[in-house]
A and B are shown apart, each in its own frame.
Chain A
């Protein structure tokens, strides 16, 4: 099985930087994903990490440390439209199917003017 923990809520100011952490426990790590979900909408893919290090994609970056079971999503130059839930998801090769993703409960980010 897997445990995925992330903060329930975070608040930040427009233009600032925010880091959303995710810790996980898994027996067969095979990749970590970050998704963004606006209220009432579908989750959309943001980033993927399978090796240690930082992956940068515009204003968003994601970091992974496999030895620590830890990832973070870094959002720079926050905009009001970044207010959403951010979901951490882990793929486990020891699960019934290596295609299966297990999601955390999400971090609700509120960006204030």
Chain B
């Protein structure tokens, strides 16, 4: 199936731990993103990579570090987890072109992170 897939779907961990979320897309897209959706359902951009290069880095604590080994993968590593990091994290991808249908984002199914 062509899709954006991320793992794990659920992640429960304690404060202070380090965890990673993986994302892969087989849509052939050049741009990948990490979004955070909080309890109020706001979807907020965290990072964007285009062909393995970081192009967006919003105001995110440096405990969050994205890594893109190739243009089909964008992983998110989080150090020293805090209670406020609890949220749903969505990976997404889009074609590089800004023409046509507007290059909609294709989202993964999300990773629900709970920090206790």
Contacts and interface: CB of A to CB of B under 8 A. Distances in A.
The judgment on whether A and B are partners is yes
Contacts of B94: 99
A45 B41 contact: no
A99 B103 CA distance: 8
Interface stretch (A21-29, A74-82, A100-108): A100-108
Interface string B82-102: 000000001000100010011
A40 B109 CA distance: 8
B66 interface: no
Contacts of B101: 48
B104 interface: yes
A102 B90 contact: no
A97 interface: yes
A108 to B, nearest CB: 8
A35 B106 CA distance: 10
Contacts, number: 59
B34 interface: no
Given A45-B105, A50-B102, A99 B40 contact: no
A44 B104 CA distance: 9
Interface extent on B, as a size class? Answer: 20 to 34
Nearest to B43: A103
A107 to B, nearest CB: 10
Contacts of B109: 41-42
B25 interface: no
Contact of B44 (A30, A44, A103): A103
A99 B107 contact: no
Contacts of A63: none
B43 A43 contact: yes
A33 interface: yes
- Of the candidates A44, A99, A103, the one having the most CB atoms from chain B within 10 angstroms of its own CB is A99
Interface string A77-113: 0000000010101010000111111110110000000
